[in-house]
Structure 1
Amino acid sequence: MLTDTDHAHLRRCVELAREALDAGDEPFGSVLVGPDGGVLHEDRNRIAGGDATRHPEFALARWAAAELTPADRAGSTVYTSGEHCPMCSAAHAWVGLGPIVYASSAAQLTAWREEFGAPPSPVRPIPIREVAPAIDTEGPVPPFDEEVRALHRASLRERSSRP
């Protein structure tokens, strides 16, 4: 059962996803919370510059590898607006981070993209547990999933209106 604190971290992820959208990026945001419950690092999607690997979940894994001990990484939780893609799931596992709580699932995003008429993702939407089975996960989490859906709808509308 998720707590009010978990919900506050997910709220921040949605805010970061909105910041990404406002900056012309796809709407994803993530927060790394340490073993003591404090926010250690946060990021948003930054792929608009052309590097499609600049996902916030990947950035958090790299930051954690450079800045945290293995024990602190294992005791930390990643909150994110969307379930990790396979690249980010693998990075999370290789770095040894703890649980992941996601607002919306990869299956939901796949269905939304189809509903909105977007092309399919170039990477198969494999659930975190299939890529990194030892990682505890929680998600999707209403009502945050519906907020993320609205951001993706706005993102796809915005991209389709560009020349």
Structure 2
Amino acid sequence: MVKDSELGHLRRCVELAVEALENGDEPFGSVLVAADGTVPAEDRNRMAGGDHTRHPEFELARWSAAHARVRLGRIVYVASSAQLTAWSAESGAPQAPVRPLPVQEVAPGVAVEGPVPELADEVRELHRRRLRS
């Protein structure tokens, strides 16, 4: 279950997604939260410059590995790859160039929590805005 303290961090992810969309990127944001609740890093999509590897989760994983050389802990997310795929299909968007995989399939040993219904509609609307533009 998503903790109340985590909802604040997830809301920040949505704020970063809005910032990404406003800067011509796909609406994704990520926050890296330490075990003590502090936020050592956060980022948003930065693919508009042409580098399609500039997803925030990649950037933060690189940062974490480079600075701590530890395994990432629990992953909490607002919307799933299945939801994103469905939202894109509803809008008539072409299929993604890579197959979307659930995080549990990519990282089976990592504790995962999500999607978070309290914020999923907001993220869905961000993706609708992107697909309409």
TM-score grouping bracket, smaller chain normalisation: over 0.9
Residue 69 of structure 1 and its aligned partner are, at CA, apart by: 4.4
CA deviations 1:84-129 (Å, max 9, x no partner) are xxxxxxxxxxxx2111100000000000000001111001011111
What amino acid does structure 2 have at the position aligned with 1:62? R
CA contact (8 A) 2:9 2:31 kept: yes
1:106 aligned partner? 81
Q: Give the CA deviation at 1:132.
A: 1.2
Tell me the residue number matched to 1:151.
Answer: 126
Which deviates further from its counterpart, 55-64 or 126-135? 126-135
Does residue 2 of structure 2 align to residue 27 of structure 1?
A: no
Q: Distance in 1 between matches of 2:131 and 2:63?
A: 29
Choose which of 88, 99, 124 in structure 2 pairs with 1:124. 99
Quick check: 1:137 aligned with 2:112? yes
Report the 3-state secondary structure (helix = DSSP H, G, I; strand = E; otherwise coil) of the residue aligned with 1:39. coil
User: TM-score normalised to the size of structure 2?
Assistant: 0.97
Between Structure 1 and Structure 2, the one with more strand by share is 1
Q: Deviations over 1:14-62 (max 9, x none)?
A: 0000000000000000000011110110000001111110000000000
Gaps of 5+ in 2: none
Confirm or deny that 1:59 pairs with 2:34. no
Structure 1: stretches of 5+ with no match in the other structure: 71-95, 159-163
Amino acid at match of 1:52: H
**Which residue in 2 is equivalent to 1:10?**
10
Q: Please give the secondary structure, in 2, of the residue aligned with 1:58.
A: helix
- The corresponding residue for 1:40 is 40
Question: Which residue type is aligned with residue 147 of structure 1?
Answer: E
Q: Identity of counterpart residues, as a percentage?
A: 65
Distance in 1 of aligned mates of 2:30 and 2:108: 20
Matched residues in 1 for 2:3 and 2:74: separation? 15
Structure-1-length-normalised TM-score: 0.80
- Cα separation, 2, equivalents of 1:20 and 1:37: 24
The amino acid of 1:143's aligned partner reads E
